[in-house]
């Protein structure tokens, strides 16, 4: 168990800088091709596959993904995001930060650098994509009434805080599947939270601040009653979703403690309008960075050879979002598995039996089940690698992907 991220985890050798980047990228293309051919032959025999139960396609795609991600790590390639709508038109919306009093505790506005000279991380304008179309805005009295029973999903994509933007190219298929499973008139807002990589790397607590911004946007600006909201996140996106659940529990504790005493009353006049959402769906969630940030522990896990995520990749993403001089990995918002708490938000937790995070995820579910009043449903899909919720249709686990999304929808419908 690591307390702080590996300082040497982020790639920084000659391959991450020009002209080395271009040179290594050109060398790596034939490497990827050779690896694809090699494994396409090796995996003709089921006994040679990472799991004998895997189909040829499952084994080949998973291994090629691992090689491709390995090359991206060698190059230090991470994604830059844009606030331009592009072809999305009015489906892509810009969300401005909520009033400063909405961000309390570790997510509060800070005007000065910390003791390690890290620049303060403040809430900023972010983007988000609606699926299948923008939700009609409801204001005034309608925003306080639970007249509309249709579901609104607030979703956070995966990508180790280094990649992803929640747009249709990467998230469209799974967003549509989840919406259709949750029922007619379901809308989803996929948040393009700030990444810890790319041209403007922004570490913790930026993604969590962005989750608050998006939640306030739905409840206050769009007039969505919280009882209609279902949080969803896969992998690192689940870290953000669970952080929002903890933050809302924190607000409740603060409100109960301070009551209407000034100056707290000014805060809670706003925060009292942010009751908890209906449910939180966590798919292959990253909920214990004291483990995920340890590349050696990751690579020593019994499922390491079957997962397309490597210890080096996991450690890089961890160090990027949680630099060792900024925050410890046992922070409750990064490793909620270590700090179970009471919450009225019902939780659906899914893990793949062949992913490295399997034990961590099950431990999280077991710990939260023990807290009185919590409702937690755990689903482990045998022999599946990480985040089949997202990659199932690509990597040959389409039926398992459907099973996962159907089980999550059934859970929501039972509430």
The answer, yes or no, to whether residue 267 has pLDDT greater than 80, is no
Give the residue with greater pLDDT, 120 vs 13: 13
The per-residue pLDDT for 50 is 95
Q: Where are the domains of the chain?
A: 14-75, 86-413
Q: Which of 267, 272, 333, 273 is nearest to 100 (CA)?
A: 267
For 359-391, how does the pLDDT look when each residue is reduced to its tens digit (9 = 90+)?
999 999 999 999 999 999 999 999 999 999 999
Phi and psi angles of residue 403, each rounded to the nearest 5 degrees, phi first: -60, -45
How far is C-alpha 331 from the geometric centre of its chain's CA atoms? Answer: 17
More confident residue, 118 or 347: 347
Strands 92-95 and 126-131, by their bridges, are antiparallel
The yes-or-no verdict on residue 309 having pLDDT over 80 is yes
Distance from C-alpha of 90 to C-alpha of 67, rounded to nearest angstrom: 37
Q: Contact, 345 vs 245, CB < 8 A?
A: yes
Q: Would you state the pLDDT for residue 118?
A: 65
Q: Is the pTM of this model over 0.85?
A: yes
Q: Which entry of 78, 235, 286, 310 is annotated as an active-site residue?
A: 235
322-67-61-87 Cα dihedral, nearest 10 degrees: 60
The contacts of residue 96 (CB under 8 Å, 6+ apart) are 125, 213
Helix (H) or strand (E) holding 290: helix 289-292
pLDDT at 99: 87
pLDDT of residue 112: 63
| pLDDT at res. 136 | 85
In this prediction, residues 308-312 reach a mean pLDDT of 96
Here the tokens at position 300 are 């020593």
What integer pLDDT is reported at residue 150 of this predicted model? 87
The answer to whether residue 235 is catalytic is yes
Instruction: State mean pLDDT over 33-56.
Output: 96
State which fold the 86-413 domain adopts.
Answer: Rossmann fold (3.40.50)
Weakest-pLDDT range from 70-84, 140-154, 294-308:
140-154
Q: Which of 283, 284, 315 is nearest to 298 (CA)?
A: 315
CB 346 within 8 A of CB 414: no
Sheet of 152-156: strands edge to edge?
Answer: 92-95, 126-131, 187-192, 152-156, 229-234, 279-283, 346-352, 376-381
Structure tokens at 125: 């304008």
Does the structure show a pLDDT above 70 at 151? yes
Count of CB atoms situated within 10 Å of the CB of 26: 9
| Other beta carbons less than 10 A from residue 74's beta carbon | 19
Distance CA 63, CA 49 (A): 9
Residue 4: what pLDDT?
94
Which residue blocks in 5-139 are alpha helix, DSSP H?
Answer: 20-42, 56-75
Q: CA–CA separation, 357 vs 278, rounded Å?
A: 26
Q: How far apart are CA 283 and CA 277, in angstroms?
A: 17
Percent of the chain with pLDDT over 90: 83
How high is the pLDDT of residue 111? 63
- 349 confidence band (pLDDT: 50, 70, 90): very high
How many Å apart are CA 86 and CA 82, to the nearest integer?
Answer: 9
What confidence score (pLDDT) does residue 188 get?
Answer: 97
Pairing relation of β-strands 187-192 and 152-156? Answer: parallel
Which position has the higher pLDDT, 143 or 62? 62
User: Is pLDDT above 50 for 140?
Assistant: no
Question: Which runs of consecutive H residues, i.e. helices, occur in 229-284?
Answer: 236-258, 264-271
For tokens 């002209």, what's the residue?
19
Query: In the predicted model, is pLDDT for residue 105 greater than 90?
Result: no
198 dihedral zone (left: phi>0; alpha: psi -120 to 50; beta): left
Query: Quick one: average pLDDT of 247-256?
Result: 82
Unique residue bearing structure tokens 């072809």: 87
Lowest mean pLDDT among 28-37, 112-121, 271-280: 112-121
């Amino acid at each position: 168990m690591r307390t702080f991220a590996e300082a040497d985890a982020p790639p920084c050798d000659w391959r991450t800088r020009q002209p080395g980047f271009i040179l290594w990228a050109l060398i790596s293309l034939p490497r990827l091709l050779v690896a694809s051919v090699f494994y396409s032959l090796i995996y003709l025999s089921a006994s040679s596959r990472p799991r004998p139960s895997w189909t040829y396609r499952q084994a080949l795609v998973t291994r090629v993904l691992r090689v491709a991600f390995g090359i991206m790590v060698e190059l230090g390639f991470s994604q830059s995001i844009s606030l331009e709508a592009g072809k999305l038109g009015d489906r892509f919306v810009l969300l401005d930060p909520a009033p400063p009093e909405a961000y309390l505790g570790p997510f509060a506005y800070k005007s000065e650098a910390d003791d390690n000279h890290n620049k303060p991380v403040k809430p900023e304008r972010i983007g988000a994509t609606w699926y299948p179309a923008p939700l009609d805005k409801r204001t005034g009295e309608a925003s306080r009434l639970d007249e509309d029973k249709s579901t609104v999903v607030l979703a956070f994509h995966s990508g180790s805080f280094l990649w992803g933007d929640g747009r249709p190219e990467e998230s469209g298929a799974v967003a549509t599947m989840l919406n259709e499973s949750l029922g007619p008139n379901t809308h989803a807002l996929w948040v393009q939270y700030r990444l810890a990589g790319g041209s403007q790397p922004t570490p913790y607590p930026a993604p969590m601040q962005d989750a608050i911004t998006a939640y306030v946007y739905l409840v206050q600006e769009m007039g969505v009653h919280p009882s209609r909201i279902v949080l969803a996140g896969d992998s690192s996106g689940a870290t953000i979703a669970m952080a929002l659940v903890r933050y809302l529990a924190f607000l409740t504790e603060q409100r109960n403690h301070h009551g209407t005493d000034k100056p707290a009353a000014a805060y809670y006049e706003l925060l009292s309008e942010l009751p908890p959402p209906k449910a939180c769906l966590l798919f292959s969630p990253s909920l214990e960075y004291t483990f995920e940030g340890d590349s050696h522990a990751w690579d020593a896990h019994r499922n390491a050879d079957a997962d397309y995520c490597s210890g080096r990749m996991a450690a890089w993403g961890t160090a990027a979002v949680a630099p060792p001089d900024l925050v410890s990995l046992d922070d409750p918002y990064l490793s909620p598995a270590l700090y179970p708490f009471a919450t009225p938000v019902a939780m659906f937790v899914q893990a793949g039996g062949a992913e490295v995070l399997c034990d961590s995820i099950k431990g999280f579910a077991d710990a939260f089940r023990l807290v009185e009043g919590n409702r937690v449903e755990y689903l482990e899909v045998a022999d599946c690698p990480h985040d089949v919720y997202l990659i199932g249709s690509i990597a040959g686990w389409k039926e398992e992907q459907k099973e996962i999304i159907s089980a999550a929808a059934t859970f929501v419908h039972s509430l």
